[in-house]
């Protein structure tokens, strides 16, 4: 009678396939590279020509559509105490260049 | 042959429940013979068997195998010895549940990385010799008592060890199966192997093919019968 | 096959047979583990892809944008300020930009309306160029279909759509509507000579700080946003330390921790007995440990490979479709874009180590003492 097949045969084959899958992914990256360079070039050209400053990813509100251009006001336009209520606020932090608060306890805090 | 000199084995050494399983054993077990260790429960026969088979090391005293001292050797060497020189059949057979018969039989050889096809052939040959070939792929839980014993013997012999060690191999078996076991022992002797076992079953230690009977009481030798 | 390889394969055979006794439990373990790796790897690949895209594409954003602030709010800026900025040494050009938002009541979408200041874009009065998401959203299915906008009840303004911006630039332009300056001022009711903000071109990047210092003196109430500020804003996009992703990161770490803790929580009597049997029949400590290593490695490496390959396919071949509803949020318009396929070896290696090492270590810990003991216990 024939004994059963070794369990490592299908398992190692599956693992081998997955490793091959990673290899295929690397090939995919290389194959798509020139096309992607062209696409990025077109995108960059439009940014330069139109003077764009932000991605058109979160079009829900003004300060989510142009976070780099946002002022302190718009985020609180509904209510000064309101929490972030647009879902896209979960994905991007407020820009660092918005002026933060300074506790001016003495003249030393203000550069002359 | 195996020689024990002034061998003592203590369990729970240094603790309040320290007990001496063996106390000052001097014994020679001849090769190419069938030896049975016998005695009441608690006499230390299982402990003696495990020391003979290099499963454990004595607390004091020495064990020699064919003239070479083995009792002071490191664990890794003893494991190699267990693999090549001894085959073990345990009291409760101790087959791995959930695995098939042939997987259990192959198990002692796995760490040696043998050729899979060749190993399977060897295992099947042993199973055929013991009348278990048709049960090779079924899980071991489904075997009867006698079949389990034979599967355990097949496993013990997979590495072609010259010495078979068995601890109460016929416990819970009826006379028919006991006789069948004695036939297997006769076959092993015909192959030139040594058999050392413990048994409190009179059907075993009074059997004609037994060459030596070693009686034990309370961790010491009682009497030793020389071969007739 | 060398003896070492044969030995490894034989040990792996035994491990798989042993795992196979609880097939359901072990398969679901691998599946769940792989799902977590899939989620984490997908987020990793998507986030770095987006950040890389933003980084590359916005590298050509204007060097400096000047905004007028009143009461902390962004206000229209007078045309006269443009000359002031153009006069600063080091400034190659200063242009007033006209752009703003239009909320389309018909589909609830926000458009970014812009006046292009470039000779290559040809627009006449009454014409518009749209980003690729607007025709989709308004159902302008045939070429040349006009766009009707209604600013208030009873209002109707018609634009002839002369062109749609390409899909290639969808990520930066999907919601854009380009019209002429006159149309813009008419549409939004703007006086002449006011602008939304001013875009300043500076030849030498290192002079930006000095130019800002000079401009601040001339325009004290203005705010200055540099190209570096824009770039920094988008480096925080989908950052692990922000918002939702922090929660997901903590959840994933907890999950890995739970898997490892479960494994390390000690040996059942059954497992102890089995290791005793193996040692009794001739396996030494090294063999038992090697076998356990195989057990840990097969599960964790298998989960990692499955999750990572699935994540790559999901993000770069499937456009991260599972994330789209979350990213879309309340937006009506969503750009139809594809990220550049990219494999970050460092990121993947880190994920591999986090997935595999704790789990394998956890598999070894409980058996260490049992594996090194004397096997005669099994005789009792």
| Cβ burial C258-284 (10 Å sphere, 16+ → b, else e) | ebbeebeeeeeeeebbbbbbbbbbbbb
Neighbours of C148 (CB within 10 A): 13
Mutate to test the interface with B, among A3, A4, A8, A12 (most CBs of B within 10 A): A3
Highest mean pLDDT pick, A59-73, C241-255, C309-323: C309-323
pLDDT of residue B53: 87
Give the pLDDT confidence score for residue C2 in this predicted structure.
Answer: 85
Answer whether B137 sits within 8 Å of A4, measured CB to CB: yes
Residue that is written with structure tokens 């899980």 in the block: B139
**Dihedral angle computed from the Cα positions of residues C52, C55, C59 and C64, in that order, rounded to the nearest 10 degrees:** 170
- Please tell me if residue C346 touches chain B, with a CB cutoff of 8 Å: no
Cβ-based contacts of A86 with chain C (< 8 Å):
329-330
Residue B228 confidence (pLDDT) = 43
pLDDT for B220 equals 86
Tell me: pLDDT of C87 over 60.
Answer: yes
Backbone angles phi, psi at C116, to 5 degrees: -75, 135
Q: Per-domain residue ranges for chain A?
A: 13-52, 53-96
Mean pLDDT of C298-316: 96
**For residue C356, what pLDDT band results from cuts at 50, 70 and 90?**
very high
Q: How far apart are CA C376 and CA C380, in angstroms?
A: 7
pLDDT of residue C9: 93
Which of C17, C273, C280 faces B103 most closely, judged by CB atoms?
C17
pLDDT in tens, B113-169: 888 999 999 999 999 989 999 999 999 999 998 899 999 999 999 999 999 999 988
Cβ-based neighbours of B200, under 8 Å, separated by 6 or more: B38, B39, B40, B41, B168
Residue C70 has pLDDT above 50, yes or no: yes
Q: What is the mean pLDDT of chain C?
A: 90
Q: Rounded to an integer, what distance in angstroms lies between the CA atom of residue C212 and that of residue C222?
A: 10
Structure tokens at C120: 């290559």
Q: Which pLDDT belongs to residue A101?
A: 54
Q: What is the pLDDT of residue C69?
A: 86
Q: Do B110 and C11 touch (CB under 8 A)?
A: yes
Which CB contacts under 8 angstroms, 24+ apart, belong to C209-212? C210/C90, C211/C64, C211/C88, C211/C90, C211/C91, C212/C64
Provide the shortest C-alpha distance from residue B121 to chain A (in Å). 10
- For residue A87, give the chain C residue with the closest CA: C329
Residue B226 predicted with pLDDT over 50: no
Neighbours of B155 (CB within 10 A): 29
Q: How far is CA C41 from the centre of its chain?
A: 11
- The DSSP letter of residue B198 is E
Please judge whether A62 and C69 are an interchain contact, meaning their C-beta atoms are less than 8 angstroms apart. no
Helix (H) or strand (E) holding B203: helix B202-205
Contact list, C245 vs chain A (CB under 8 Å): 91
Q: What is the pLDDT of residue B175?
A: 87
> How many helices and strands, by DSSP H and E, does chain B display?
7, 10
Q: Which chains touch B (3 or more CB pairs under 8 A)?
A: A, C
pLDDT at residue A53 tops 50: yes
How many Cβ pairs within 8 Å bridge chains A and B?
A: 12
C329: nearest CB among A7, A32, A58: A58
- The C-alpha atoms of residue B55 and residue B51 are separated, in whole angstroms, by 6
CA distance B228 to chain C (A): 31
pLDDT at C283: 87
Give the mean pLDDT of C149-167: 91
| Whether the predicted pLDDT of A102 surpasses 70 | no
For residue C211, pLDDT beyond 60: yes
Q: Over pLDDT 90: what percentage of chain B? A: 37
Higher pLDDT, B35 or A1: B35
pTM: 0.86
Rounded average pLDDT over A36-50? 94
State residue A35's pLDDT score: 94
Q: How far apart are CA C180 and CA C114, in angstroms?
A: 8
In the prediction, which pLDDT does A1 show? 44
**If you search the block for the tokens 């630039």, which residue do you land on?**
C169
- Residue B104: pLDDT above 90? yes
Structure token digits, residue C267:
């040996």
| Residue C288: pLDDT over 50 | yes
CB pair distance less than 8 Å for B99 and C5: no
Q: Is C275 in CB contact (< 8 Å) with chain B?
A: no
Lowest mean pLDDT among B18-22, C7-11, C113-117, C168-172: B18-22
In chain C, the residue whose alpha carbon lies closest to the alpha carbon of A32 is: C341
What's the rounded mean pLDDT across residues C116-138?
A: 91
3-state secondary structure of A10: helix
Is the predicted pLDDT of residue B74 greater than 80, yes or no? yes
Mean pLDDT, rounded, for B26-32: 90
Per-residue HEC secondary structure of chain C comes to: CCHHHHHHHHHHHHHHHHHHCCHHHHHHHHHHHHHHHHHHHHHHHHHHHHHHHHHHHHHHCCCEEEEEEECCEEECEECHHHHHHHCCCCEEEEEEECEEEEEECCCCEEEEEECCCCCCCCCCCCEEEECCHHHHHHCCCCCCCCEEECCCCCCCEEEEEEEECCHHHHHHHCCEEECCHHHHHHHHCCCCCEECEEEEEECCHHHHHHHHHHHHHHCCCEEEEEHHHHHHHHHCCCCCCCHHHHHHHHHHHHHHHHHHHHHHCCCCHHHHHHHHHHHHCCCCHHHHHHHHHHHHHHHHHHHHHHHHHHHHHHHHHCCCCCCHHHHHCCCCCCCCCCCCCCCCHHHHHHHHHHHHHHHHHHHHHHHHHHHHCCHHHHHC
CA dist., res. C40 & res. C350, Å (int): 12
Mean pLDDT of C309-332: 90
H-state helical runs in B19-160? 45-52, 75-84, 101-106, 116-129, 145-156
Q: How far is the C-alpha of C337 from the C-alpha of C323, rounded, in Å?
A: 13
């Amino acid at each position: 009678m024939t004994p059963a097949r070794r369990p490592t045969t299908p398992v190692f084959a599956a693992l081998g396939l997955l490793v091959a899958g990673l290899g295929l992914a690397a090939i995919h990256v290389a194959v798509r590279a020139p096309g992607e360079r062209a696409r990025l070039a077109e995108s960059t050209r439009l940014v330069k020509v139109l003077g764009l400053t932000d991605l058109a990813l979160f079009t829900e509100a003004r300060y989510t559509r142009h976070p780099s251009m946002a002022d302190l006001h718009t985020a609180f336009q509904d209510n000064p105490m309101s929490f972030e209520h647009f879902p896209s606020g979960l994905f991007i932090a407020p820009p660092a260049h918005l002026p933060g608060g300074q506790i001016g306890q003495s003249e030393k805090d203000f550069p002359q | 042959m195996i020689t024990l000199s002034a061998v003592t084995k203590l369990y729970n050494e240094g603790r309040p429940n320290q007990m001496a399983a063996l106390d000052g054993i001097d014994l020679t077990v001849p090769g190419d013979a069938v030896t049975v260790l016998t005695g009441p429960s608690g006499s230390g026969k299982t402990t003696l068997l495990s020391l003979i088979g290099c499963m454990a090391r004595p607390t004091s005293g020495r064990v020699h195998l064919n003239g070479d001292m083995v009792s002071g050797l490191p664990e890794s060497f003893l494991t190699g010895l267990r693999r090549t020189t001894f085959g073990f059949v345990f009291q409760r057979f101790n087959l791995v549940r959930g695995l098939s018969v042939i997987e259990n039989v192959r198990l002692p050889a796995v760490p040696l990385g043998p050729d899979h096809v060749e190993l399977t052939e060897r295992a099947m040959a042993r199973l055929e010799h013991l009348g278990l070939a048709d049960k090779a792929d079924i899980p071991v839980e489904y075997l009867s008592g006698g079949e389990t014993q034979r599967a355990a013997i097949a496993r013990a012999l997979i590495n072609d060890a010259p010495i078979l060690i068995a601890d109460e191999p016929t416990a819970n078996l009826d006379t028919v199966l006991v006789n069948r076991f004695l036939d297997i022992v006769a076959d092993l002797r015909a192959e030139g192997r040594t058999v050392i076992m413990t048994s409190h079953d009179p059907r075993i230690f009074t059997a004609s093919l037994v060459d030596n009977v070693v009686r034990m009481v309370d961790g010491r030798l009682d009497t030793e019968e020389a071969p007739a | 096959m060398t003896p070492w390889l044969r030995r490894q394969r034989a040990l792996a055979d035994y491990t798989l047979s042993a795992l196979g006794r609880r097939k359901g439990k072990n398969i679901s373990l691998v599946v769940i583990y792989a799902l977590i790796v899939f989620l984490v790897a997908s987020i990793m690949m998507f986030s770095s892809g987006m950040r890389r895209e933003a980084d590359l594409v916005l590298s050509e954003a204007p060097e400096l944008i000047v905004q007028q602030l009143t009461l902390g709010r962004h206000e229209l800026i007078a045309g006269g300020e443009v000359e002031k900025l153009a006069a600063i040494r080091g400034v190659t050009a200063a242009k007033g930009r006209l752009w703003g938002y239009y909320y389309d009541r018909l589909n609830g979408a926000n458009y970014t309306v812009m006046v292009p200041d470039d000779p290559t874009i040809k627009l006449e009065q009454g014409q518009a160029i749209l980003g690729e998401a607007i025709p989709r959203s308004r159902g302008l299915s045939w070429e040349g279909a006009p766009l009707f906008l209604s600013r208030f009840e009873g209002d109707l303004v018609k634009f002839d759509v002369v062109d749609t911006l390409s899909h290639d630039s969808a990520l930066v332009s999907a919601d854009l509507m380009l019209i002429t300056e006159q149309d813009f001022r008419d549409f939004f009711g703007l006086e002449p000579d006011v602008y939304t903000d001013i875009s300043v071109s500076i030849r030498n990047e290192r002079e930006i700080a000095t130019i800002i210092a000079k401009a601040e003196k001339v325009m004290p109430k203005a705010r200055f946003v540099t190209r570096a500020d824009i770039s920094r804003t988008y480096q925080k996009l989908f950052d692990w330390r922000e918002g939702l992703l922090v929660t997901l990161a903590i959840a994933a770490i907890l999950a890995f921790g739970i898997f490892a803790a479960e494994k390390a929580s000690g040996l059942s009597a059954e497992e102890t007995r089995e290791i005793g049997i193996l040692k009794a029949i001739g396996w030494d400590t090294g063999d038992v440990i090697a076998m356990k290593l195989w057990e840990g490695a097969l599960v964790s490496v298998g989960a990692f490979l499955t999750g990572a390959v699935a994540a790559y396919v999901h993000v770069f071949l499937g456009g991260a479709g599972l994330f789209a509803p979350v990213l879309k949020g309340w937006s009506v318009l969503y750009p139809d874009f594809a990220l550049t396929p990219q494999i970050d070896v460092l990121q993947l290696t880190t994920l591999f180590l986090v997935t595999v090492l704790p789990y394998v270590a956890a598999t070894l810990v409980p058996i260490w003492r049992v594996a090194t003991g004397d096997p005669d216990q099994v005789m009792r």
